[in-house]
Structure 1
C-alpha cells in the first residue's frame, strides 16, 4: 500500500509529539504547511471559568489575542457546540455578519489576519478533551472536502498520541513526587543500567559527589572509597544483576564506606529497580544505589513540626535540635536559654506528644512525615 510522503510525515510527527520538548511543535508546523494555514492550534485543556487551559499554537496569534481568548472570550467560541469527532468550519457554525461583528473576531482573529477555521474536538475517554483548529485568512481559499478528509484521517492517530502523552505525564508526575520524597530524606540516589553504568542521579547525589572525595565517578561508573571498597560495591551490583538475569527473587545489598577523621561512615544500599514484563532497552534503570550521609541529615521545617504536634515555635526548635543529636544542654545553649527553661519546654513537648523519654521523642520526630516537607 502506497502512503503519500506528506501524510507519512504528518503521522510520524503526531507520534513524535509527546517526546518533544515543546509537544507536537513539529506536527503543528507540518500541518500548517500542508493545509496552507496561517495558524494551527492544539487545545490540550480548554479554557474555562476555573483556568486558562493549555493551548499549543503555531503562527498567527498575538500574545494579547491569546490572553483575551483564554481569560474570557473562550465563552464566545462557536466551536463550543462542536461534537467530538465532528469536523466543521466556522462558517458552518456562525454567519459571516455575526462572526465579523463579534468581539472574538475583532480582538483575537482580525489583528493577525485570521478569518475562517476548520476544527475538530477529540475526546480521549477517561483522560482528556482536546481540540485541533486550523485557521486561514479571509482571502485564502475556503476549506474543501480534501481538507476535511485529512482532518478525519489524523484524528485517530492524534487521539492515541494524546493518550500516550497523558500516561507519560502521570508517570513523570509520580516520578517527580517520589524523587522529591527521597531528596527530603537526604538520600543520594544513583540509577544504573544493565551494565552497571550510571544513567542518572538526583541533586543530593550530585552534591555528595561534589563535596565527598570518597564518592566519585570514573568512566561512567560509581567509585566508593579505596579500591577494596569499590570492588565490594561492584560485587553487590553484580549480584543484583545476576539474580535479575536468572529470574531469582530480588535482594537488597548493604555496605558502609569508611571516612577519615571524625566523620561518620556513609551508608550504602543497592537494590534492583522493579521492572515490568516488557521493560527492555539500554536506558532502562536496573539497579538503584542509595547513599546516606549522617553528616547531612534531613531537617524538618519548624512550621510543619508546629502543625503536626501543636508545638510552640520554641518547642519546635528545641525538638528539632534534640532530633539532630544535640543534648539538652547543647540545645538550650543554641537557643540562648537556661537549662531549666529548656527542661520546662521539654516537659510541655512530652505532654503534647505522649512520650516520656528524650530517645522516644527523637524517634517520633525522625519517623514523622515532617521530613517529607523539607
Structure 2
C-alpha cells in the first residue's frame, strides 16, 4: 500500500474516530511539504469545532480568541468558490495576508507563513474547512502541491459527510436515552435550530414552538429571550447566563428549562457549539430545598442560601442578620441569583423557588 493509499484509508477511518484527525492532518500536510494542518467546522459565522496536527502550535488559543472573528480568511476562501485548495496568495495581497488576524495572532508568532485551504459544504449547513500552513522562509504552495492536495479532496468531503451522519446518530441516541427516563429533550445549534429531538419534547406544544427552518422557540416570551441569550453564550461555559429558568405555558402552568452546553474539551470538529435543552415539570412544595436550588441554577453555596431565604419570605436585611453579614453582600448575591435564574424581582424569585422538581414526564409508549 502506498503512502497515498494509507492516507486515504486513514481519512475514512477518522470519520468515525475523531482521535485520528490530528495524524491525518499531519500526513496531509506532509504530502505538500507543509508544517501541519487543521480541520474545522464553521457554523453560524463562527468556528464551532476543530482538530489539528502537532505542528499547528497556538491554533487552539487563536480559534478561541475574539480576534478570529475579524479574519477575512473564511470570507475570501468561500468567495473563491473553488472545488479544491486555494493558496492564500490567490485571495490576499502579501500585505493583506500579514495584516490579517490569522497571521498577526497565530501564524507569524508561531513561525508560519504561506497557507492553503479549502471549504466543503455539508448537508447540515456546516462548512468543513481544511487549512494547511508552511513555515516562514518556505515558498508559497506550488501548483503541483495544490494538485496533490486536491487529489484528497473527494475523500475528505466524503469523510466529512460520514462524520456529520455519525454525529447525528450519536446525538439522536442521547435524546432517546433521556426519553426513556421521561425527560423531554432537544439538541440545538447556536441559532436555535433543532438537530434532533425526542418525542416527549415534540408533544410540549404549550411550551415549545417549532418554527420554520427547524428552529425552536419558547412560547413564554421572557423565557425565550433567556434561551436566545443562553445560546449566544453557549461557546463560553463560564459565562454568567441563565441556563436553568422557568417557562410558562397555557393556563400559567410552569416548567423549568435547562440549557446544557455540549462542548467537548477535545473540540471534535463536528461536536462543538451545541446545547442540550431539557424540560422538567414543577410542582408546589411547602419548603424550598437549598441543595436542589443550588444544583438546578448553578448557584454558589452563599447564593443558594440567599435564594432559599428569599423563598421563605425573608428580606435582604433579615437574611444578613441570619448569616452574620451585610445587606450589601446579600444584595450582591441576590443580583447574581437574578442573573442565573432569569428573574428580575424578589417576588418572582420566591414564586419560582417555592417549587421543587417532581417525577419526570412519563416515558413515551
TM range (shorter): 0.3 to 0.5
Per chain length, whose mean CA-contact separation is higher, i.e. which structure has more relative contact order (CA < 8 Å, sep 6+)?
Answer: 2
Which has the larger Rg? 1
TM-score (norm: length of structure 1): 0.47
TM-score (norm: length of structure 2): 0.48
